[in-house]
Chain A
């Protein structure tokens, strides 16, 4: 079966750091994506991990452990505009990408 788990909601304070976790159990694994989706809008690409380790891109970093079926997205220096849903997605191969339900992040002043 295919299963991707993320927390439903998280709340953090402006200027702080937040870590959004994702665990997956899929029939195949060829890469993991993180997308940001503001309410009523389309998902936008944030990061992509294929190998174990940390990928840093500005205020956003993503980590992958393939042996543990685990990834996290780290957001630093939170801004109000970071309030959105964050989607973890696994490319399982066979031209299929499986998305988690998403984590809604609320950034408060």
Chain B
């Protein structure tokens, strides 16, 4: 079975631009979470989506938005890019996305560089 896939692998943008990152979960998984990982730090939670609805949101500005599609794939959109948005963006899928803990499986990530 294919794991979590993300595209693109790498991306270079300039300040003020907008970017869209894509994620396809493991087949059968209905929940997708997005994380930002700055070099040398642990992943920081951005969003969790389940059944196309936002279920959780981390401490990120409104420039960050996401959505989930009927096939459970997801997009993360970041507007008005800042230098500080440069990071590895990780997508993780899980089976249920219920209020109880659910093991998350991570994709390879998208490395975003903002110049």
Residues of A within 8 A of B (CB): 4, 30-31, 33, 35, 41-45, 48, 50, 87, 89, 91, 93-102
Contacts and interface: CB of A to CB of B under 8 A. Distances in A.
Contact of A99 (B42, B56, B103, B105): B42
Contact of A102 (B42, B55, B104): B42
Nearest to B3: A42
A97 B97 CA distance: 12
Contacts of A102: 41-42
A30 B90 contact: no
Contacts, number: 58
22 contacts: A4-B42, A30-B100, A30-B101, A33-B101, A42-B109, A45-B103, A50-B101, A87-B43, A91-B101, A94-B56, A95-B48, A95-B50, A95-B55, A95-B56, A95-B97, A95-B99, A96-B56, A98-B45, A99-B35, A99-B42, A99-B44, A102-B41
Nearest to A48: B103
Contacts of A35: 106
Contact of B48 (A41, A43, A89, A96): A96
A16 B79 CA distance: 48
Contact of A31 (B50, B90, B101, B107): B101
Interface residues of B, number: 26
SS class, residues of chain A in contact with chain B: strand
B40 interface: yes
B108 A42 contact: yes
Given A96-B48, A99-B43, A100-B42, A42 B90 contact: yes
A97 B58 CA distance: 9
Contacts of B97: 95
